[in-house]
Structure formats: C-alpha cells, structure tokens
C-alpha cells in the first residue's frame, strides 16, 4: 500500500462505510446501529428492522443463554442491512437514575453488565458480524458529553467503570471497541495512551479494532495512542494534509499508521470480506418468525413484578369481564428509547393491540389516555400532500443562503420533520425550503408547534406565522427529538387547502459542541387537533376505571423523554405530574388497579401504597404489548429481577448533586460516590432512610421457591485458574412453573484504613422449574471477586481473612438465603 492509501484507511469515507481500495482488492465495510436492532443506513424512516428488547430489559432476565440468542439474531439482522459490524452492545454502567441513555446499557453492576455482554458478543460474532463494545470509557451521562471533563478516581475506574469492558475484552474477544466523547481526568480517551494502548491493548491483550464514536476523534495523536478508525467520514482530524504534517513533525510515525491500518484489514478478514467475499448488498426487510418469538420471549422474561397484593395477578378473566386500559402508553408501543437505539420497526404491538386481539371477544375493553405527556407535539403527517402529489412533505436543498433558483437536491419526507444530519447527499446545504399542502379533515383552532436547529420561518398561505430568529441551544438534542418549540394555535377550515412553507438555515458552528452538528439544518413541525388537546382525558379515565372490574394504568417515558442526547431532569414521570395524578385518581375509585411502567430508569412512585400491583416492563422491543400481556395473563410466570437499584428519590443516590442537569453549564463533573454505585451505595447506608425502594436483584413471581443445601468448594489463591465453586438446590414450592435467579455476593475481609463495599456480586445462576421440581445451581468465582484496586501499588490486591459468601434472591439483607465462608490465607497482589 502507498502512504496515501494507508492514510485513506484511517477514517471512514461516509457516515457508515469504511473506504475501499480497488487497486488492491480491499473492499469497503458497512457498519450499522445499534444495540437492539440493525437500523441500516437511514437514521429515520429507513428499511424496517426487527426491534429487540433494550439491554436493560435483557439484563433483567439474568439469562446468559437468552443474551447469546439475542446477539446471534442481531447478527442475522445486520446482514440483512448489508452490514457486518453492529454498533453494540453498550456496557457503560447506570451511574444515575437520570441517565438519558441508561436503557441502552445493561446494569449498574459491572459484573452483571460484563457477564451478559460477553454472551451478546459471542452470539453476534457467531454470525461473523463484529460486535462493537461501547462507549469506552465514561459515557454515563449525556449532558455536555462532547466536552465534559469527568474526574474519576483510579480505584473507581478499575473496580466499576473499566471492569465490564475488561470482562468482555478478555472472555469474548470482541472485534471492535468504540471510544467515547468525554474527557477523563483532563484528557480525551484518544488523546492519551493510558486507556487504548496501556490498558486495553497491553494489559488486557486486546487485538481488535478501535473506532471513535461519531465525531469523537479529538486529536491526530490518536493514531499513536491506539485509535484505529475515525468515524464518520469524510475525515475531520485525519485528513491527508493533517496526517502528513503530523508525520513530518514527528507527532506520529509510519509504524503507527501501519498498526492502525492492520487493525482494519484484520477486521475485514474476520467478517469474511476477503475469503468469503461478503459483498455489500441492498438493504432488506426480513421479518423472521423465529425473531418475533425470541423478542417476545426475551421481553416477557425481562418484566419485573414489583408488587402483587392479594395475588391480583395473573388476571383471572372469569372475574374480570370489564377491563379499562388507561394511560398515555396504553395504545403506545414503547419498543425502544430514543437516539441511536431507535429504528423503524417491522411492526410494533401496543398493550391495547395485544388485549384487543387476544381478549376482545371475551372481555369488554375500554380505553382512555388519561394524561397528555407531549414533550414536543407529534409531527404533522395526516392530510398532507407534497408538490409531487405524494403524501407528506418536500425538502429543497440550496447551496446558497438565499432560497432562490433551482435546488441542487429535492427529497420527500412522510411527516413534518427532516434533518440533513447523517445525510451524505445533503452535504453543502446552506438553506432549505420545506413544503406541504395541508387539507385538514376536521376544522378547528388546532395546535401547532415549530422549531429548527438554525434560524427558521413558517408561512401559511404566504403569511408569516412563526419566526425563530435564534438557533436552538442544543443541536444534538434537537436532532434526537427534544425540541424547544414555538407553540401557537391556527384556525383551519375543512373546506380548503393550506400551503405550508418553511425556510431554514444552518446553525452556526459555535452553537454545536460536536462538529458533526455544524452547518446542519433540521425542522420540526408539530400538530395536535383541538379536540384531542382540549379533551378532559383524566375525568374520562376515572369514569372508565370506576365501572371496570380491573383498571390497568400504562405509564412511563416515550422516546421524547428518554433518549440519547439529553439526561432526564428529575426522577418523576412526565409530564407535570399528570401520570401520577392519573394513577392516584384511578386507584381511588378501583381497588383492582395495576400499574405497568415502560421506562429504562427507576422513578418516584408516590401512589405505590394505593395500587394493588406494579410491573416494570422496560423497553421490550416490537412485541412489547404481547410480552406484557403474556405475564399479566400468567402465560409466562414473571422471573425478571431488577438490574438496577430503585431509589425512593433522587436525593438518596450517591451521585446526587454531581450529575448531568444538576449543573448544565458546568464543563466538569466529579464522580463523588467513588466505588459506591447502585446497591453498593444503599448497602453503605442500610438502616437509614436512604435505603432503596426496591433493591438490586429484586423481583416477585407467581410461584415460590426454596434454596437449600448450599455448599462451597475451593479456595482463593494467587492463581487465575483457581476457582471457588458454590452449589445449592432450588425447588419450586408453588403451583406455577417459573424460574428463580440465585445471586452470589461476596463480603470481602476488612482492610485497615480502606473503605470497601459491604458486598459485591460475583456470580448468578437462573433455573426454570416445574411445580415440585428441584435443580442445582452452580456459581464459580476466582480472585477477581474479592480483589480491590491498590492505588499505591497500581495492582489488584486480595486481603487475607474470612470472606462471607452470600446466596440471595436480591441484594437486600432480607433476601439472603444462606451464608458460607471461604478463608484467604495471606495478602497477595496480581496484575494488571
């Protein structure tokens, strides 16, 4: 390869593809988002794809085999989009319940995250599709993530934030890693040798490719520090001129470039682009029955039953002939969160769909939204026709700031939203005209909203009705669906057509913390009919609940509220307490009230004592409605366990006052809680008012279990191959077939002068049992389970003494089934 050819391989050629070199027969390679579905080349409205449960839902199953199966199916999905690299899984921890992207990651616990990610990666790569473990490192908040400096102790880095990545790197051999945006202790990950070279490659022996998050290349020296590939293209940091200059000045070397290019060539070989000639192909929408079944199974097994007074669940259809389905998410399929995890699903099943299809002939079903939770108004879509006579809008792109003459490109959009972001055909756009002809089917003083990334104007029949003179404050949040809108009403007749014309210009570069958002244009035009907006849905819902045998409130977040790009503002359900009022009002008139929540995070539950049952459903994929109904009807016995702690309120968490929106204008956040993340924090404060509402690992069942005859064999020694083996017998003592997860925690010996967590998860095993059936669970752990990071020595240390081994069904001391002991004869150090 010539030097120029090597340099061309240091960055992608466009949004999703690695460059090819025809002269040498080096093919291009396509990548695709994301962790719960292969979206393909279009960020919005692209080829349909299967949507799997979010990783937090998958983590709630505590099922390694299921994670493996989902990974394998995702590999098959990626191939249908002509991609052989999937951008997932996300293994960053849940540091705060306000994390906007928590749903995309597995857990607050590094061991659980690592264990399930290992199987996800193995399953994916069994299809010869590369996994991309992300985001390495410190991507726990989305507020100011492009510029924030995170101050994290070395011990917290090693014990909490690096550990799941280490487990996956060593045990699953992922073919790709993705670096992150934030600075860690003053420098970006790719601007220092510590993380990508010293730890990832040298200490852990990683030999795969490392790519950037989109736009996260911070310096040309990343070529020297182990960053193989800048994404997306065309290059920003690694232009031919910049690389040649860095070579000349000695900031990078020719051997550095060779190493980076070899990583890319090795990836091409692993996925079969050389030997098997797996050519890029046209994207396909293949809706496989076996994927439907897997998504439904994984979704239902991830549901967590948090309360079930009077054994109201499962629903007895014989006693519940009138069921009220209430809440803003009753007829909304909460398949996924927002951002990179969103996709155009093959289909989505809402709870209302599932109930109607399965029970509509035998049960009287009533429905009411009960609350409006719009963060932004839904895009105007119905009754719109573009100038080509097709449904929707037209966008005309101009290369000059003045909107005149002939546009250089015209595209059609199905609804009142467009963006040039991730659109390689729109590069060079300096202004856009976005138009439609709207003929409302119903007259009224309807509600509209309007916003753009850059300065924008909306005309209706040539009359200026909305003028946004300034750029939006947060361009990335806008792109991901969180707009700050101009809202107004407009009186429409149903007998005429209205001409909508929007003129918009790019946001100035200084408004974008991420260069990818520079010179981008986007528009959002929202619409709600007057009758829908002004309807008293709360009163309607209460009346339906009063007359029902069973009232089920479906509440939670939508992609507008829980999304990449913006953290949550509080630990309360949106919007303006409307969902809490709905639940309390319904519970006051119906003693058989069930709450089903779909979020990726915990939230305050002021109504908990007044409802009979509470189910956490997460984002369960395209089969979410069926998965929920399977559990509510008892066709699936709930077996999910919380992969997170559920605080009573945000102020009780360890990171309170040092996360995200607590200091939006700040460019620095300190991880003040150190190693005390999640249940480690609540264990430390056990007995105080700060204990969790629901502990990590908690989940009820329709049946009951007994754990007995626990045994321990082996010892902890300074040998990576020596393991401690814990076994126990689990029996199903109830009347339902079900599954139980036995969790093994370790209480390590005390160390003078060192503050250590009370206990830490070192293993788990899940067994499915018929009534009266008994099986053995088995968990192994080694020296890593009791080691802590000795900052003075820069090594892992195991302290001598007696360690307590706890077999439990949650992290709560109340749920410890038995205790065993293992003796550690002497102090020792190992690694890194």
Catalytic site positions = 213
Cα 518 to the chain's mean position, in Å? 25
SS3 label, residue 698: coil
* Residues in Cβ contact with 344 at an 8 Å cutoff, skipping those fewer than 6 apart: 39, 42, 44, 45, 46, 47, 48, 49
Q: Please tell me the distance from the alpha carbon of residue 522 to that of residue 502, in angstroms, as a whole number.
A: 11
Q: Which helix (H) or strand (E) holds 56?
A: helix 55-60
Q: Tell me the CA end-to-end span of the chain in Å, nearest whole number.
A: 36
* Residues in Cβ contact with 25 at an 8 Å cutoff, skipping those fewer than 6 apart: none
- Asked if residue 122 lies in contact with residue 116, where contact means CB atoms within 8 angstroms, the answer is no
Secondary structure (DSSP) of 271-296: TTTTTS------------HHHHHHHH
Q: Please tell me the distance from the alpha carbon of residue 685 to that of residue 777, in angstroms, as a whole number.
A: 31
Q: Provide the token pair at 392.
A: 């929707």
Q: Which of the 8 DSSP states describes residue 662?
A: G
CA distances from 807 to 61, 412, 710, 777, 787 (A): 18, 59, 8, 11, 19
- Give the orientation angle of helix 254-270 with respect to helix 240-249, to 10 degrees: 130
- Strand pairing partners for 614? 307, 595
Q: Which residue has the tokens 């339906």?
A: 544
SS3 label, residue 481: coil
Q: Which residue has the tokens 């007259």?
A: 443
CA distances from 829 to 719, 720, 787, 795, 832 (A): 10, 12, 9, 6, 9
Cα 741 to the chain's mean position, in Å? 24
Q: Which of the 8 DSSP states describes residue 250?
A: T
Q: Please tell me the distance from the alpha carbon of residue 781 to that of residue 800, in angstroms, as a whole number.
A: 17
CA distances from 409 to 114, 405, 531 (A): 46, 12, 38
Backbone phi, psi, residue 490, to 5°: -140, 135
- Asked if residue 112 lies in contact with residue 63, where contact means CB atoms within 8 angstroms, the answer is no
The reply to whether omega before 563 is within 30° of 0 (cis) is: no
Q: Please tell me the distance from the alpha carbon of residue 619 to that of residue 603, in angstroms, as a whole number.
A: 15
SS3 label, residue 255: helix
The CA R_g of the chain, rounded to the nearest whole Å, is 27
Q: Which residue has the tokens 């018929």?
A: 770
Pairing assessment for the beta strands 209-211 and 364-368 based on DSSP bridges: unpaired
Q: Please say whether the dihedral angle defined by the alpha carbons of residues 570, 571, 574 and 576, taken in this order, is positive or negative.
A: negative
Q: Please tell me the distance from the alpha carbon of residue 506 to that of residue 455, in angstroms, as a whole number.
A: 7
Q: Please tell me the distance from the alpha carbon of residue 391 to that of residue 383, in angstroms, as a whole number.
A: 8
Q: Which helix (H) or strand (E) holds 66?
A: helix 64-80
- Asked if residue 442 lies in contact with residue 494, where contact means CB atoms within 8 angstroms, the answer is yes
Q: Which of the 8 DSSP states describes residue 506?
A: P
Backbone phi, psi, residue 394, to 5°: -120, 140
Q: Which of the 8 DSSP states describes residue 735?
A: S
Backbone phi, psi, residue 415, to 5°: -150, 180
């Amino acid at each position: 390869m010539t030097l120029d050819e090597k340099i061309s391989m240091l960055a992608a050629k466009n949004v999703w593809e690695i460059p090819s070199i025809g002269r040498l027969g080096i093919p291009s390679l396509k990548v695709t988002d994301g962790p719960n579905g292969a979206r393909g080349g279009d960020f919005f409205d692209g080829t349909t794809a299967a949507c799997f449960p979010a990783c937090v839902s998958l983590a709630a199953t505590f099922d390694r085999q299921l994670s493996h199966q989902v990974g394998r199916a995702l590999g098959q999905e990626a191939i249908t989009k002509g991609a052989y690299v999937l951008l997932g899984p996300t293994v960053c921890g849940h540091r705060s319940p306000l994390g906007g992207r928590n749903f995309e990651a597995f857990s607050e616990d590094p061991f659980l995250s690592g264990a399930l990610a290992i199987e996800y990666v193995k399953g994916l790569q069994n299809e010869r599709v590369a996994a991309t473990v992300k985001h390495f490192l410190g991507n726990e908040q989305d507020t100011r993530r492009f510029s924030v400096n995170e101050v994290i102790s070395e011990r917290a880095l090693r014990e909490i934030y690096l550990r799941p990545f280490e487990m996956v790197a060593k045990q699953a051999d992922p073919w790709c890693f993705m670096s992150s945006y934030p600075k860690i202790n003053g420098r970006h990950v790719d601007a220092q040798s510590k993380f990508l070279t010293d730890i990832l490659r040298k200490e852990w022996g990683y030999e795969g490719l490392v790519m950037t998050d989109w736009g996260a290349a911070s310096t040309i020296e990343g070529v020297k520090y182990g960053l193989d590939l800048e994404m997306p293209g065309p290059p920003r940091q690694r232009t031919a001129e910049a690389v040649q200059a860095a070579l000349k000045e000695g900031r990078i070397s020719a051997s550095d470039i060779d190493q980076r290019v070899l990583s890319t060539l090795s990836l091409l070989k692993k996925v079969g682009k050389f030997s098997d000639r797996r050519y890029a192909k046209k994207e396909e929408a293949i809706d496989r029955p076996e994927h439907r079944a897997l998504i439904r199974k994984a979704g239902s097994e991830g549901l967590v039953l948090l309360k079930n007074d009077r054994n109201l669940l499962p629903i007895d259809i014989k006693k519940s002939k009138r069921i009220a389905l209430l809440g803003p998410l009753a007829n909304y399929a909460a398949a996924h969160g927002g951002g990179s995890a969103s996709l155009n699903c093959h289909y989505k099943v809402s709870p209302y769909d599932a109930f109607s299809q399965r029970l509509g002939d035998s049960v009287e079903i009533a429905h009411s939204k009960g609350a409006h939770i719009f963060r932004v108004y839904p895009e105007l879509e119905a009754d719109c026709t573009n100038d080509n006579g097709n449904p929707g809008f037209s966008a005309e792109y101009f290369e000059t700031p003045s909107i005149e003459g002939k546009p250089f490109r015209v595209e059609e959009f199905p609804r009142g939203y467009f963006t040039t972001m991730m659109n390689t055909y729109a590069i060079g756009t300096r202004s856009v005209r976005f138009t439609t002809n709207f003929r409302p089917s119903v007259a009224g003083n309807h509600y509209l909203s309007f916003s753009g990334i850059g300065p924008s104007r909306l005309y209706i029949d040539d009359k200026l009705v909305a003028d946004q003179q300034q750029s939006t404050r947060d361009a990335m949040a806008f792109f991901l669906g969180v707009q700050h809108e101009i809202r107004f009403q407009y009186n429409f007749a149903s007998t005429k057509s209205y001409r909508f014309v929007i003129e918009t210009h790019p946001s100035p570069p200084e408004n974008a913390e991420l260069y990818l958002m520079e010179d981008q244009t986007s528009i959002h035009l929202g619409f709600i009919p007057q009758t829908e907006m002004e309807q008293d849905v709360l009163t309607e819902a209460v009346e339906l609940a009063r007359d029902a045998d069973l009232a089920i409130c479906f509440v939670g977040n939508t992609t507008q509220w829980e999304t990449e790009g913006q953290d949550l503002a509080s630990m309360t359900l949106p919007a303006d307490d409307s969902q809490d009022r709905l639940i309390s009002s319904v519970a006051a008139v119906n003693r058989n009230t069930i709450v089903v929540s779909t979020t990726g995070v915990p939230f305050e539950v002021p109504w908990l004592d007044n409802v009979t049952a509470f189910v956490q459903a997460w984002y369960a994929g395209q089969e979410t409605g069926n998965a929920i109904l399977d559990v509510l009807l008892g066709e699936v016995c709930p077996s999910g366990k919380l992969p997170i702690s559920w605080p009573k309120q945000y102020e009780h968490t360890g990171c309170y006052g040092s996360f995200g929106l607590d200091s939006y204008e700040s460019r620095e956040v300190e991880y003040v809680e150190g190693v005390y993340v999640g249940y480690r924090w609540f264990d430390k404060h056990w007995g105080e008012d700060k204990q969790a509402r629901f502990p990590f690992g908690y989940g009820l069942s329709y049946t009951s279990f007994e754990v007995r005859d626990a045994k321990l064999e082996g010892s902890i020694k300074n040998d990576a191959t020596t393991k401690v083996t814990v076994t126990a017998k689990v029996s199903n003592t109830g009347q339902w077939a079900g599954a139980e997860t036995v969790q093994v925690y370790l209480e390590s010996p005390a160390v003078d002068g060192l503050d250590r967590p009370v206990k830490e998860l070192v293993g788990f095993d899940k067994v499915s049992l018929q009534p009266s059936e008994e099986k053995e669970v088995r968990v192994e752990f080694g020296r890593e389970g009791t080691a802590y990071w000795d900052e003075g020595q820069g090594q892992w240390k195991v302290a001598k003494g007696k360690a307590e081994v706890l077999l439990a069904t949650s992290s709560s001391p109340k749920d410890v089934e038995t205790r065993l002991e293992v003796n550690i004869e002497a102090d020792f150090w190992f690694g890194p």
